[in-house]
A and B are shown apart, each in its own frame.
Chain A
Amino acid sequence: MYRYDAIDRALVEARVEEFRDQLARRLSGELDEEHFKPLRLKNGLYLQLHAYMLRVAIPYGLLSSRQLRMLAHVARRYDRGYGHFTTRQNIQYNWIRLEEAADLLADLATVEMHAIQTSGNCIRNISADQYAGAAADEVADPRPWAELLRQWSSFHPEFSYLPRKFKIALTGSDADRAAIRFHDIGFQLVRDCGGALGFRVFVGGGMGRTPFVGPCIRDFLPAGEFLSYSEAILRVYNRFGRRDNIYKARIKILVHELGAERFAAEVEAEHRHVKTLGIDAPEAEVRRIAGFFADPPFEPGLDDAVDDGGDEAFARWLLRQVKPHKVPGYRIVNVSLKPKGGIPGDASAEQMEAVAGLAERFSFDEVRVTHAQNLVLAHVRACDLRAVHDGLLAVGLAEANLDLATDVISCPGLDYCTLANARSIPVAMKVADRLRDREAELGELKIKVSGCINACGHHHAGHIGILGVDRKGVENYQLLLGGSGAEDASIAQILGPGFTEEGVVEAVATVTDVYLRERMAGERFLDTFRRIGPKPFKEAVYA
């Protein structure tokens, strides 16, 4: 993985010291909150319902074991023993004491981590396919390009005060595991008919109160023009994006109002100019960065067979959590952070350390975070799967539910978040409990819950989405059906009037009854919904 050079290190260390000074001035009363708040937000510190919340960036969701151990240390030393992995592949801590925040950031800096650009109207942490460099279906590894974007966008002076926040995601496969079409920019690595590497570029996707699936504005961008084209998109946005109305400030509104074609034409015009400025990384630099993501020393000629030894639980886990790897004899292991009775995405310090230890022993020292709030060990030998399973079992993380009904995504909601209208975690847990018995029968079913219209829990992209609203001071839940954050991206539609908490849990169960009744062979929930439309679901739910 990428290792900091002297410049990266100096920047992050300088930032910690700068914040230490700002914090000292706030604590001594020299700075008031009005002036301090933007400074702490620039370092990922939000004030939430119960305490300060710190959001730590995990570039493209990739962690070394050492970094994950540090995240466990932070949970134990500065928080209450746990952290919450988010849909943006980051981690959030819920109980940070402001007075300790500079020490915390200094600890993070020792493992090349920080909270820079995790808040505010800048280019946020870049996200990417969690199977990068391992997937059997990969065209090319997106991580070198994500790293290039990270370097380009870090402290980019022109893009520090954009009209609104800006989120970029990359994938290197046709299968979209990074929800790229729900990002401000989504890049998909592709090859043209001559075999040259490039990108399909999607712009203006997003969730929030006005969800859009990003249209494609460029079918093939040569890889060598990656940064100049990104710069052109950002410049067009910076110039024309609405700064007068926060609800219209995201690039998705600009793309929608101009139309994808006109927006693309503006970008092309800008690009003709930007391309001449020498912004694109020289090939040698691209190669240097790619070198950090070279394959680990895979053993050739390993036995590819896996024997479940007649152990039913292990067999189920193999079937659900383990995916093909590009190298024979290896597998990708998905670690569920949705255990029975657990809070989606939460992991204790002990669990983080256990996963870090397994990564050290069995997966070349690295771990990935997924946008579905799970973890991944990307390079596990087939012969080590049993040991990995048993290691996970020991810390309660051997659930076999990837992409099933109990693998629910949930934002923190009203249990933690100041912006929330309703709690999302308890609903996610109750839905999971309600469907657990039939989840195998239901097959792939992505359920996503948000506690308000900001849609941090991706409810617009759920096969089943649940949105918490405030109805005269009482929690109420809307049910949405038919969304997808994958390569078949679509926006879920609201089914009808909202429900109480128990009501929405029952409504979800009813909706799955309709699916089981109506499905044709091989159809997922989403396929059936797309074929028959909302009417039968509506009739059953509101009967």
Chain B
Amino acid sequence: MKLLTGNVSRTGEVIWWTGDGWSPDVADAVLMDPAAGEAVLAREAVAEQVNDLALVDAEPGPGGVPRPLHIRERIRAFGPTVRPDLGRAGRDWR
């Protein structure tokens, strides 16, 4: 399964596709099959509001929060592992 993610052009903030919009919290993200993900990505790319759009591999995680498979994306979802005070409370990068 895939998650669609990127960074808000205006601010740089990490965001995740929720099915009908964007959220900064990966808990709101929707897991999509690759084809559906590609379609949303193509549409969103045209809007030019989100930089570095990417589909990343993920699976359903604990508590129904989607869990990206690669550590890089988990760190994006959580924040820097060395500054948990700046990260998203209740999210685990592991």
Interfacial residues, chain A to chain B (CB-CB below 8 A): 26-27, 29, 32-33, 47-52, 80, 94-99, 343, 414-416, 418, 420, 423, 425-426, 429, 473-475
Contact = CB atoms under 8 A, between A and B. Distances in A.
B69 A473 contact: yes
Interface in B33-76: 48, 51-52, 69-72, 75-76
A414 B52 contact: no
Which of A33, A48, A94, A475 has the most CB atoms of chain B within a 10 A radius of its CB?
Answer: A33
Contacts of A29: 48
Nearest to A429: B82
Q: Chain A interface mostly helix, strand, loop or mixed? A: mixed
A343 B82 CA distance: 8
A415 B80 contact: yes
A52 B80 contact: no
A50 B82 contact: no
Interface of B: 7, 9-14, 48, 51-52, 69-72, 75-76, 79-83, 86
Nearest to B50: A33
A474 B69 CA distance: 10
B82 to A, nearest CB: 5
A415 B75 CA distance: 7
Nearest to B52: A47
Contact of A99 (B11, B72, B82): B11
Interface of chain B: mostly helix, strand, loop or mixed: loop
Given A97-B12, A418-B52, 5 more contacts: A49-B14, A50-B80, A80-B86, A414-B75, A473-B71
23 contacts: A27-B10, A32-B48, A33-B51, A47-B7, A47-B51, A49-B14, A49-B76, A50-B13, A50-B79, A51-B12, A52-B11, A95-B12, A96-B12, A343-B83, A414-B71, A414-B72, A415-B75, A415-B80, A415-B82, A415-B83, A423-B82, A473-B69, A474-B71
B46 to A, nearest CB: 10
Given A80-B86, A426-B81, A99 B10 contact: yes
A51 B13 contact: yes
Nearest to B49: A29
A426 B51 CA distance: 28
A425 B82 contact: yes
A418 B12 CA distance: 13
A98 B75 contact: no
B10 A475 contact: no
B12 A98 contact: yes
Given A27-B10, A50-B76, A52-B12, A33 B48 contact: yes
A429 B70 CA distance: 23
Contacts of B76: 49-50
Contacts of A418: 52
